Structure 1
Amino acid sequence: MSTGCTGFDFFEQSELPAPRVSETQAQQILSTHYGLTARVVSLGSQQDRNFVVTGDDGTGLGVLKVANTAFTPVELAAQDAAARLIDEAEPDLRVAVPLDNSAGEKCTTITGLAPGPTYVRLLRYLPGGTLSESAHLSAAAVAGLGDIAGRVSRALRDFTHPGLDRKLQWDLRFGIEVVDRLSSHVSDPVLRSRLESVARDAWSRISPLDAALPRQAAHIDLTDANVVVTPGAGGVRPDGVIDFGDLSHTWAVSELAITASSVLGHAGAQPSSVLPAIRAFHAVRPLSESEAQALWPLLVLRTAVLIVSGAQQAALDPDNDYLTEQSDAERQMFDLAASVPLDVMSAVVMAALGLAGTPAPVTAQVPLVAVDPAAVATLDLSTTSELYDGAFDAGLPGDVASEAAAAALQRGAALVVTRFAEARIGQAPLLSQDSPVATGISVWPATDIDVAAPWDGLATEDGPGRVTLRGNDLALTVTGVRDAAHGAVQAGQRLARADAHQRVEVSVRTAQAPVPPPFTRTDLAPGWLAFARDPRPLLGLAPQHTGRPPTDLLSRRDASFASVQEFYYRTPPQIERGRRHFLMSTAARSYLDMVNNVTVLGHAHPRVADTASRQLRRLNTNSRFNYEAVVEFSERLAALLPDPLDTVFLVNSGSEASDLAIRLATAATARRDVIAVREAYHGWTYGTDAVSTSTSDNPNALATRPDWVHTVESPNSFRGKYRGPEVFRYAEDAVAQIDEMSAAGRAPAAFICESVYGNAGGMALPSGYLHQVYAAVRAQGGLAISDEVQVGYGRLGHWFWGFEQQQAVPDIVSIAKSVGNGYPLGAVITSREVAERFSSQGYFFSSTGGSPLSCAIGMTVLDVLRDEGLQQNAVHVGGHLKARLEALRDRHPIIGTVHGFGLYLGVEMVRDTATLEPAPEETAAICDRMLELGVIIQPTGDHMNILKTKPPLCIDNAAADFYVDTLDRVLTEGW
C-alpha cells in the first residue's frame, strides 16, 4: 500500500456513513448562518449530505452541502479553490462555486451535529438538472460530457494545494486495493469472484504504465450525476459542473475514465458509446499513447470500484435510497465494460484517437496449402457484390458464399477464398442493429488437400473439426477439417486434412490475443482487427483490401453535386443496396425503410429489373414512334380512372405531371389564375413550385407566390383554424373565396390539391371537402386537379386513388412516384375534351415519358400490385400499423395524433397536448435515434414535426412491429 498522506486516508478510515442531518436541521443552518428562510429537499449522495435550497417561488437559491466529518477544512478549501479556478478559466462552463455565509466566509463550522466539528457550505445553484436524469444519452450529449471533462482537466493542469494530499477510494491509483478490501461486501459469490478477476486483469494493464501517466489535480467525479445540463427540445446540452468532493492529485487520464464510465449506465448504451466523450476530451486535452492504452482498463476498474463501494455503503447506510437507485446502473456499467476483452476495447480507443498502427502482414515458412495463386478465386461478399442481386427476395439470403464458391470451383478454380475484414451484408439480420465484419476468411478447395503448418508450433484440437497452431508470435485456427495434428508440429508438416468443396474457416491472431468471434460488430471491428491478421498471405496471396480506399463521400458529393440537393441525416450511412422494404449500407447494416413511398413494390423488385433488362435489350426510343407498349400502358392507366378521365399524357416525374396538369387547365379554360391549398407541396418546376405553399420546403413559399396563384386555408383538422365539428367550414371558406375571385373578374382556371394531405403527414381532408370545392370551381368554369403523386396507386388500402376516399371525381389527375417503382415515370390523365384543348399550346412531347422502357416498367408495376395483392396488404398491414401507433399515442403524450389511411400515415409530435405546440427539434432527434436502431424515418409537415410513415407496400407485420417497437423504445428511453 502507498505511503501516508496529510488529508483523508480511506485505508485508515474506510467506513464513511453520510452525516445524519435532517431537512429541518438544514433549514436551521440556512437561517442561522446564511440568513435564508427557504425550502430544502434532501438530495442523493453517498458520503456527504446535500440539500437543494429553493425560495417560495421555486427559484433555486443554492445547494447546502454538509461534508462528511472525515474530511478536513484544508481539503474543502482545495475544492473551493479548484471550483473558482475553473469558473474563471472556463467562462462558458457553469460551476458550483461556494457562496458566502453571513460572516463572509465560504465554509461554515458547526458543532453539535456530530462528535466533532461539521463543515457546511452553500454552493451556487445550477438549474437544469443533471445528465443522469436522461435515460438515453445521444452521441452529442456524450461528446458534451467528454468536452467538459477535457476543459476541467485543462484548467486544473497546474493547480496545486495542500488539500490534494489525500487517499480516496475513488482515486483509481488505489482501485485494486479498494476492490480487494471491499469485495467481501458483495453477497453474490459469482459476481464477487468476477469483480475480483476483472479488476486484477485491468490492474495488470495499468500498473506497467504507472510511471508514464501524467499526474495532476483532477475532479475524478465528473459523471453524469455531477454534470448539469441545459435542456433543449432536441436533447440536453451538458454545460455545468458540481460536487468537487473527490478532488485529488492523481493520474490525469482518470478524469476521462471516470467520466466515460458513467455513459455505460444509460439506456441503450454499448461499450463503444463512450467514444464521442473520448474524442471530445482528446480534442481539448490530448491524451498520450500511454494514457490512451490505460484508459479502458481504468474505466473497467472504476466500474468494479463502484459496485464494491456501493455494497459496503449499503451495509453502513441501509436507509440511503440513493445507493439503491444507483445499483442497477452501476451493475450495467460493469457488465458492459467487462463484456469485451480489455485489449480489444483498448484497441478500439486507440483507433478512435488515430493512434493505432498498421500491423505487418503475416508471413509463412511454408504455404498453408499448395496451390497456384493464379488459380485462386476471391469472393466479394460486400453490400455491393453482384452475388446478392436478387438474393434478398424472400428475406435473408441462403448460403450465397457456398453457392458462389461451388460455381467458381466448377469453372476451374483450384481454391476459392473470401476477403478479410469484410463487412458482410449476408450475415446481417434484417430487423436488427447488427453489422457483421469478418475476422477471418473462408476457403473452399477443389480437391481433398493437406493443410500444412506454416510455421513451427504446438497444435491443439479445440473442438470437433477445429485445430489451433500456436507459434511464437501468431496463432492460426482452422475449422472444418479432419485428421488434425496434435502436439509439436514443424513448418510444412500436415496440420489437418480439408475435404473437396467443403468450407474451411481460417483465422490468424497474435499469440496472446483473445480468440475473435467469426464476425464482430462494425463499432468493435477496429479492436478485434488490431489483433487479427489477414490469412491470405499464408496461401501465397497478397493481403486483400476490401472495397475502395477510404474516402469522404460527403465531401466528394459537396464538391460536384449542388448542395441545395440535401441528403437525409447529418451523418448518413452510405446506402448501396435495397431489397423490398429494406435499405443496406456499405457497413453491412440493414435498415427498415419507412419513408420510400416511391418504391411502392419495394426496392429492387426482380420483375421490374427483369422487365427493364429485357426491354433495354430490345428497344428504347420515344413515343413519336409507333409501338405497342405506349398504347397498352395508356389504356391500362385510363381504365383505372372513372369517366370521363380517358386520355393519358406520359412524363418523367411528379413535378412534370402536376406542371402539365396546370398547363392543361389554363389552356382549356383560357385563364391564368390557379387556387392552391396552403401547407402543400406539388413539385420543383416553375409551375408546381408556384402552387407549392409548404414553408418546410420553401420558407418563403407564401411570400413569393406569383400573382396568378391564390391560396385557401389549409384544411388541417388537427391543428388548423377549424377543428372538431367546425371542419366543414374549410370547404365553405374555399367556396366563398372562389366565388369572390369570380365576382372580381378572376375566375380560376383550376383548383389543385392533394386528395390526402401528403405534406402534412397523410392527413385526411374533411369529409366532403373535395366534393364541395370541385363543384364550386366547376360552377365558375374552372377545372379540378387531383395531385395523386404520393397518395395514389393503392397506398390508402381501401381506395386506389385518394379522391375516391372523398367520393369526388377530378377533371385532371397527376401521378408519378409509385408509377415506375423508382424509375422516373409520371402521367396526367384527363378527359379527351381537356386534352384536345391543349393543342392551342402547340404539340406536347416528352423524350423519355412514354418510352418503351417506361411503359414496360409501368405495366410491370401494375401487374405486381395486382399479383402480390399490395393494395390489400396496405389494408391489413396499414390497419395493424395504425392501431399500434395509436396505442403508442396513449402511452406517450408527445404523440399528438396519427394521421392517414393504409400505408400513408403520419405520426405528429407535439410538446403540449392542449396547445398542440409542434415538436420539430424533438422529431429530428427521434429520427436520428431511430436510425441508430435500424429504422429510416424522416420528419415532414410545415413544422417538421410529423414522422412521414410511407413504406413500400410490401412491408409485413413483423417489420411494422419493429418500427413501432423501436419508436416505443426511443420515446421511453429518450433521444
Structure 2
Amino acid sequence: MSAHDTAGFNFLQQQELPAPQVTEAQAEELVATRYGLVARATSLGSQQDKNFVIGTDGEVVGVLKIANPAFTATELAAQDAATAHIADAEPTLRVSVPLPNRSGELCTPVEGLVEGTAYVRLLRYLPGGTLVDAGHLTPSVVAGLGDVSGRVSRALTDFSHPGLDRILQWDLRFAKEVVDRLARYVDDAGLRARLESAADAAWSRIAPLDPALPRQAAHIDLTDANIVVSWVDGVPRPDGIIDFGDLSYTWAVSELAITASSVLGHVGGSVASILPAVRAFHAVRPLSEAECGALWPMIVLRAAVLIVSGAQQVVLDPGNDYLTEQSDAESRIFEVATSVPMDVMSATIKADLGFSRTTTQLPVAVPMIAAPPEQVVTLDLSTTSDVYDDAFDTAGVLRSDVEDTAARAALHGGAALAVTRFGEARLSRAPRLSQDSPDVVATGISVWIAPDAGATTLVAPWDGEVETSADRITLRGNGFELHLAGAQPAASGSVRAGDPLASAEGRIEMSVRPLGSPDAPPFVSTDLAPGWLAQLCDPRPLLGLAPLQAGADTGDLLARRDASFAPVQEFYYRQPPQIERGRRHFLMSTAGRSYLDMVNNVTVLGHAHPRIAEAAARQLRKLNTNSRFNYEAVVEFSERLAGLLPDPLDTVFLVNSGSEASDLAIRLATAATGRRDVVAVREAYHGWTYGTDAVSTSTADNPNALATRPDWVHTVESPNSFRGKYRGAEATRYAGEAVAQIEALIAEGRPPAGFICESVYGNAGGMALPDGYLQQVYAAVRAGGGLAISDEVQVGYGRLGEWFWGFQQQDAVPDIVSVAKSVGNGYPLGAVITSRAVAEGFASQGYFFSSTGGSPLSCAIGMTVLDVLAEEGLQDNARRVGAHLKARLEGLRDRHPLIGTVHGVGLYLGVEMIRDAATLEPATAETAAICERMLDLGVIIQPTGDHQNILKTKPPLCIDVEGADFYVDALDRVLTEGW
C-alpha cells in the first residue's frame, strides 16, 4: 500500500514524531490558567505525545495530554467524538473522555508552548491502573482484554469523521512500508534481517486477503497499557479505555491484533496465550474466516513495527526513558510471534473458533508396502490405552520402550505391520514433570515391519524426485512431500510410482505434507496441534489404509456430565483436563500431559499401585460378598487395624467411606451414653451424611453451616492459632474455653454424648491443634460421662510422618477413632475402632451392617495397603520429604508476602495466602487464580479453608524430593511472575 495525500497526519511522508518537550512546571501552569486547577503534574511515559497525571490533595483529577504538533485539530476532534460515541454505545465501559476547560471547550489550542500550535486536553482519569507492568496474565484477564477490544470495535463499526483520514505508523495497513523505512535504525544486523523477513512473510499472507477484510474506525492501541482495569476481590477486570491518539480508519481485525500482541509481551506468555482474547472478541464482534487468516500475520507485523519504531524514536528522543522500558516487552512479543509458522497459528485460531478444516486427500497411485489391511494392527498409544498398564517402573517412570514393546506384541501375534495414529496425543512422549505443555501429538506415523519379513521394499506412491540426507529420505511430487526416517534409500533422482524408494526392517517414521507447507517437528503440543495438523496429511493411505485421526469425538464431556450427573457434585478448575490415568503421585490427561498430584490424600500409596490392583484382581477371582459370611479376611484385617491403636481400642467396624465412619462414630457415642448432644469444633468438615453434616461447620463446604445446625449440636471456637481470636502462645486458651462450654452443658443437664474433632485441623490446611488441647477437652467430656471421637479420616495412616495417628501428636487417646481415605488407597473403605464396651452399647440401636465395608475385596485391599505402607517406608517418607517440602515452602514465605504461613507437619500441609500481614485479610481470589496457573505449569493443587485461601498440600505419601521441589519451584514462579 503506497503513500497518498491525506487531510491529517501522514507518517509515510513525515516519519518523525519526537514528543513535545514540556516540563511539569509548564503543565501545572497550563492546568491552572486553562482549567482553573491548582494541581501537581507528574510526567507519564509516552512515545509521541506528552502526558501528565494531574492531582490535587492526593486525588487524581485527570491526565493532561499535549498532542504532538504534527496532529491537526480535526484529528483530535475525531478522537473526542469517538470517546463520546463509545461511552454512549457501551455504558458499562469506562471511557477517558475529555473534560471541558474554563471556556467549556474540550480541546485547548496553545501557542508558544512548542513549535506550532499545541493542542491540550484534560482527560478523565480512570482509577485502577493498567496491566502494562503486570507479570503473567491469566486466561480470564486475557479474555477481558479481548472483550473490551471487541466492544470498542463493535461500537465504532458505523462511526465516521473527517479526522480519520490519516496515515499512522501504527496502522497495520502501512506496517510493511513502516518496517522497510525504519529498519535501518536497528543496529543489530541479524535482528534487522529477521524483522524485514518477518514483515515480508506476514504481508504476503495479508495482501491477498485485503479485499475481504472489513474496514472501519478503530482505536488501534487497545493494549495492556491503554486498557484500564477495575479490581474485584483482588482480581483485575479490564473495563476501561484511554488514549485515542492512534484512532484511524483501517482493518477492523487490526483492533484485535494489536490487543492480542500486547499479551505476548508478558512473562510466561506463549503463542496460545492469545486464544482467550480471540474467543472473547469473536463472541462480541464475530470474525470472518479471512480475518482469522490475517490475524496472526498482523500480530507479527505489529511486533516488527514496535521494534523498528522504538529504534527510530530512541534516535529522535534519546532521553525518553519510556522507550527503553518498553523495549524488553517488545522484543519478547517479536520472539514469541515468530516462534511458530504463521500458517500454523492461523489454522490454530480458525480451529479454536470452530471453523471447519478442509482435509487434503493423498493421491496414492501405489501403496508403499503390499500388506493387506486385515494384517495391519493400529496401535493405541493414547492415555487410556492398556499398553501402559504395566509399563511403569517402581518410581512411576514410563518405560522408554513402551511403543516398541506394544508393536512387537502385535507383530508376534501375526500382524504384518503395526502402525500408529496420525494426530494422536501419545502418553509415551510425556515427561513426568514439566512446566510446559509437552510435545506429544504425532505429526506423522510410526510403522513396524514384521521381523521375519527381512528387509522390506517400500515403493514410491507417486512420481517424483528423491532427495536423501543423513537422517531421512524425501520424495517430492504430485504436490506433496513425503519424509521417511529409519529406512535405507533405494533410489535417487527421479522415480515413477511403484519404483523402489527405500528398504526397511524394524521401525520407520513417516510424514507427509503438501508442498509449501511448513516442515513439522515429529511431535507438537496439544495447544498447537490443530494448526500443525492442518498443514499435514495422514500418511496411512500410503499403506493402503483409511485415514484414522486419533481421538473419537465424545462431545463436550462437561456438558454430558452436567446433563446426567448432579451438578452440585463440583469439579476442580474452570476448564479441567480430562484425567484418565494415574501412577504414584502423577495424574495423566487425555491430552498426554502428566500432572504432579498435590491434593490426593485418598491414594496414600499413590495412584494405580500394582500391589493393590493385583490384590483386588486376585480376590475378585475368588470371592466378594458381605461380612455376614464367615471368611478369614475380615478377621485378619480387623485384627491388624486394632493392633495399630492403643488400648482399649480393640474393636473394629468396617464401612464404605469417611462420612459413614464418622457418622457411625457419632451413633456409637449416642448409643453408648444414651444421650443426644454432641460438641463439635467450628470450621471443621466431617462428612456428607445427616449426622456428619450436622457436626460439620465449615462454611466453605456449606455457606449456611452455622445457621442450620440442629439443636443437639454445640460448637466450640475454632482453635486457629494463626488467624483466630487467640494466636501464637495465646492459642492454649482455646482449650479452656471449650472445657468451660462443656462444663456449662453438663450443668444445664445436657451432658454431651461426645466431642468430635480432627486431631489435626484439616480444613484449616493441616494446622496442628494447640499443645494439650485434646487432653484437656477429652478430660472434660469424659468427666461428664461422654466419649472422645478422633476424626482421623484425613490425617491418619502415617501422613504426619512422626506419628501414625494424629491424636498421638497430642499425647491423647480417644474413645472412638474414625478413619477412611487412606485405608483403601482410593477404594471405598473406612473403619471405626473403639473399645468393646462402646461397641456393645450399639446393640440398643439394633444391629450394624455395611454391604461392602467388610467384604473380602475390601479387606484384601485394606491389608495390602498396610503391607505396602510398611514395606515401602511411606510413613518415614512422609516425615523426610514433608520436612524438606515445608522448609522450602517457608523459604518462599520469606520472599513472597502473599504467603502468610505454612501449616502442618509431614505431608499434611497448608500454605495460607493473605493480602495483609497485619489484618490477615484472606487472599481468596488470588489463591483460586494461583491454583489455575499451577495447573498450566503441571501441578494439581486446590484451595481449602473457610476462606478458600489455603493451598491444600496433601499428596500421596510416595512423593519424592524431586516432586516436592517441582511443586515449590512452580509456586515460586507463579508468585514471581503473577497469576
TM-score range, shorter chain: over 0.9
Cα–Cα, structure 1 residues 248 and 547, in superposed 2: closer, same or farther, change >3 Å?
A: closer
2:493 equivalent in structure 1? 487
Of residues 189-198 and 840-849 in structure 1, the stretch that sits farther from structure 2 once superposed is 840-849
Q: Distance between the aligned counterparts of 2:398 and 2:315, measured in 1?
A: 52
Tell me the residue number matched to 2:645. Answer: 641
Match of 2:406 in 1: 404
1:523 to 527, 531, 549: 527
CA drift of 1:792 comes to 0.3
Q: How far apart are 1:234 and its partner, in Å? A: 5.0
Q: Which residue number in structure 2 is paired with residue 444 of structure 1? A: 448
Distance 1:212 1:706 in 2: 68
Amino acid at match of 1:16: L
1:682 aligns with 2:686: yes
Give 1:12 deviation, angstroms: 2.1
**Is 1:345 matched with 2:345?**
yes
Q: Structure 2 regions of 5+ residues with no counterpart?
A: none
User: C-alpha offsets along residues 678-716 of structure 1, whole Å, 9 cap, x if unaligned?
Assistant: 111111111111111111111111111111111111111
RMSD, matched Cα: 1.2
Alignment of 1:364-763 (within 5 A): 364-393=364-393, 394=395, 395-432=397-434, 433-435=436-438, 436-446=440-450, 447=453, 448-464=455-471, 466-499=472-505, 502-763=506-767
| Structure 2 residue 227 is matched with structure 1 residue 227 | yes
Judge conservation of contact 2:937–2:970 (CA < 8 Å) in 1.
Answer: yes
Structure 2 letter corresponding to 1:379:
L
In the alignment, which residue of structure 1 is the partner of 2:819?
Answer: 815
Tell me the alpha carbon deviations over residues 263-315 of structure 1, each in whole angstroms, 9 at most, x when there is no partner. 10012111111111112212222222222211111110110000010011111
Aligned-pair distance for 1:375?
A: 0.4
1:82 and 2:89 are equivalent in the alignment: no
* Aligned partners of 1:234 and 1:924 also within 8 Å: no
Distance in 2 between residues matched to 1:514 and 1:541, nearest whole Å: 25
- Whether the 8 Å CA contact 1:347–1:356 is kept in 2: the answer is no
Q: 2:870 aligns with which of 851, 859, 866?
A: 866
1:56-110 CA-partner distances (Å, limit 9, x unpaired) = 1x22211000111111111111111111111111111111111111111111111
Q: What is the one-letter code of the residue matched to 2:473?
A: V
Higher mean displacement: 594-603 or 244-253? 244-253
2:745 maps to amino acid: M
In structure 2, C-alpha distance between the alignment counterparts of 1:239 and 1:715, rounded to whole Å: 42
Deviation at 1:797, TM superposition (A): 0.5
1:68 matched to 2:68: yes
- 1:155 matched to which residue of 2? 155
How many Å apart are 1:233 and its aligned residue?
Answer: 2.9
Q: Which residue of 2 is the match for residue 52 of structure 1? A: 53
Answer with 559-568 or 798-807: which moved more. 559-568
- CA–CA distance in structure 2, aligned partners of residues 714 and 653 of structure 1: 25
Whether 2:31 is the aligned partner of 1:25: answer no
Matches of 1:867 and 1:725 in 2, distance apart? 39
Give how far 1:451 is off. Answer: 1.0
1:952: Cα distance to partner? 0.3
Measure the CA separation in 2 of the matches of 1:212 and 1:657. 67
TM-superposition CA deviations, 1:353-410 (whole Å, max 9, x none): 2223231432310001111110001110000000011323432332211011111111
Matched residues in 1 for 2:284 and 2:699: separation?
40
Partner amino acid for 2:464? Answer: G
1:276 aligns with 2:276: yes
Deviation at 1:802, TM superposition (A): 0.2
User: Structure 2 CA distance, aligned partners of 1:696 and 1:939?
Assistant: 10
Q: Is the 8 A contact 2:3 2:13 kept in 1?
A: no
Could you state the TM-score of these two structures normalised by the residue count of structure 1?
0.98
Give secondary structure in 2 for the equivalent of 1:133. Answer: coil
Match of residue 180 from structure 1: 180
Change (3 A) 1:187 1:484: farther
2: distance between equivalents of 1:742 and 1:252? 76
CA contact 2:131–2:224 (8 Å) conserved in 1: yes
Give distance in 2, aligned partners of 1:355 and 1:176. Answer: 28
Letter of the 1:215 counterpart:
R
**Quick one: which amino acid aligns to residue 68 of structure 2?**
N
Give me the whole-angstrom Cα distance separating, in 2, the residues matched to 1:835 and 1:327: 74
Shift of 1:651: 0.9
SS in 2 for 1:463: coil
User: 1 CA distance for matches of 2:502 and 2:813?
Assistant: 76
Segments ≥4 residues shifted beyond 6 Å: none
Deviates more, 1:717-726 or 1:855-864: 717-726
CA contact (8 A) 1:234 1:925 kept: no
Structure 2: how far apart are the matches of 1:112 and 1:607?
A: 87
1:794 is aligned, of 798, 806, 810, to 798
Cα distance between partner residues in 2 of 1:360 and 1:172: 32
Shift of 1:484: 4.1
SS in 2 for 1:881: helix
Shift of 1:655: 0.8
Q: Tell me, which stretches of 5 or more residues in structure 1 are unaligned?
A: none
Is this contact kept in 1: 2:63–2:122, CA < 8 A?
Answer: yes
> For residue 463 of structure 1, what is the amino acid of its counterpart?
A
Q: Which amino acid aligns with 2:144?
A: G
2:194 partner SS: helix
Q: Secondary structure at the match of 2:18?
A: coil
Show the counterpart of 2:900: 896
Between 695-704 and 781-790, the greater mean CA deviation after superposition = 695-704
Q: Secondary structure at the match of 2:501?
A: strand
In structure 2, C-alpha distance between the alignment counterparts of 1:144 and 1:686, rounded to whole Å: 42
Give CA deviations for 1:789-815 in whole Å, capped at 9, x if unaligned.
000000000000000000001111110
How many residues align? The count is 971
1:759-908 superposed matches below 5 A: 759-908=763-912
* Per-residue CA distance 1:412-466 (angstroms, 9 max, x = gap): 11000001110111101111133411111100011221111111111111333x1
Local SS of the residue matching 1:846: coil
- Name the structure 2 match of 1:319: 319
1:925-966 deviations in Å (ceiling 9; x for gaps) = 111111111111111111111111100001111111111111
Aligned mates of 2:418, 2:881 — CA distance in 1: 43
Task: Say if 2:24 and 2:43, in contact at 8 Å, map to a contact too.
Answer: yes
Equivalent position of 2:42 in the other structure: 41
CA distance in structure 1 between the aligned counterparts of 2:711 and 2:468, rounded to whole angstroms: 84
Give the fraction of aligned pairs with identical amino acids, expressed as a percent: 73
In the superposition, the TM-score normalised over structure 2's length comes to: 0.98
Amino acid at match of 1:812: I
* 1:944 alignment partner AA: Q
Residues 215 and 250 of structure 1 are in contact (CA less than 8 Å); yes or no, is this contact kept in structure 2?
yes
Inter-partner Cα distance in structure 1 for 2:164 and 2:30: 28
**CA deviations over 1:797-836 (Å, ceiling 9, x no partner):** 0000000000001111110000000001111111112112
CA distance in 2, matches of 1:411, 1:754: 55
